[in-house]
Amino acid sequence: MNKLVVQNLNVGVDVGKDFLDIHIRPLGEYLKVSNDKKGIGEAIKRLRKLTVERIVIEATGRYEIAFVSACAKAALPFSVVNPIHVKRFAGAIGRKAKTDKLDAALIAHFSEVIQPALSTLKPENIQKMADTVARRNQHLEMQTREKNRLQIMPKTVQSSIKAILTVLKKQIQKMDDELADLIESCPEYQAKSELVQSMPGIGKVSAAALISYLPELGMMNSKQVAALVGVAPMNKESGRYKGKQVTQGGRHQVRTVLFMAMMSAMQCNAKFKATYERLVAAGKPKKVAIIACVRKMVVILNSMVRDGVIWEEKAA
């Protein structure tokens, strides 16, 4: 395959739900393709003909996965970057105009100047982590039901229950090991995992759930991340009617994991314990107080990942 040999070729990719806007610098070449198998195939075919130094893609948490996977399979050098870093770069060079085409050019310029580290991201591992966390939660539910049965069933059947509990315990441990291996296989995952685990109450499983179910963590503002998880209070108003604020929607997998993490955090994390006790003392129902603490946890985790600051530094 003949490749166009041009030194320091940097590619910027602006990712949308339906289209990919691609700018090749310094050739000044621009192409727009559909964000589907056919369009991605066209883009990869073109990029493989070039000697590319780096392809930079902003992380959206969803829409870039197929393109990143294609780059990985084609052995093209790519870097998945935080959109906030690109936005700050735009401010530093005085770029204000904003279109998909201009954004692609900006990302290519960012790639050339900043030279972000190449990613070793394996998109398929995100799905593996999500599936493993989901299955682990199912095993935990089965374990709880069997433990409850052990308390009420006669001794004649308890040996059967204990046998099942032994199997479940081994399976849960096996999945914990698999999650640890998946995280350690990728520097990006490992760095993010260590960062969020610096918060008391967040363990390896919670970190894996955040990485797989909430890849946008660190890329949104406080209101957006709370709404995405489903812990943001929503107003119920119509005309003169004003109902109580409620939480709804969001990603229940993340919310469930963080709810359990909060139950642990309130035992070892003074910040969340104080918040919970203050809300309960003010007359809030316990469940409402816990959800409020989860919302606080999500917002803090988001800012920790965004700023690359561990818990001790963030809390100081």
What would the pLDDT profile of 252-293 be if each residue is shown by its tens digit? Answer: 778 888 888 999 899 888 889 999 999 999 999 999 999 999
**In the chain, % of residues over pLDDT 70:** 89
pLDDT at residue 158 above 90? yes
pLDDT at residue 247 above 60? no
Q: Say what the alpha-carbon torsion angle 234, 237, 243, 246 is, to the nearest 10 degrees.
A: -10
Average pLDDT over every residue of 183-190: 79
In angstroms, the CA 109 to CA 120 distance is: 22
Give me the helix-helix angle, 83-92 and 100-114, nearest 10°.
Answer: 90
Rg (CA), the chain: 23
pLDDT at residue 314 above 90? no
CA distances to 22, 24, 46, 54, 268 from 29, rounded to whole Å, are 8, 5, 11, 15, 55
Average pLDDT over every residue of 92-111: 90
pLDDT for 294: 93
Give the model confidence (pLDDT) of 60-86 as tens digits: 656 787 898 899 889 999 998 877 788
Eight-state DSSP code of residue 98: -
Residue 121 pLDDT class (50, 70, 90 cuts)? low
In angstroms, the CA 81 to CA 60 distance is: 9
Residue 233 pLDDT class (50, 70, 90 cuts)? low
pLDDT for 34: 96
pTM of this prediction? Answer: 0.61
Which residues fall within 8 angstroms of residue 209, CB to CB, at 6 or more apart? 129, 133, 253, 254, 257
pLDDT for 204: 86
Which one, of 19, 29, 51, lies nearest residue 108 by Cα? Answer: 29
pLDDT at residue 143 above 80? yes
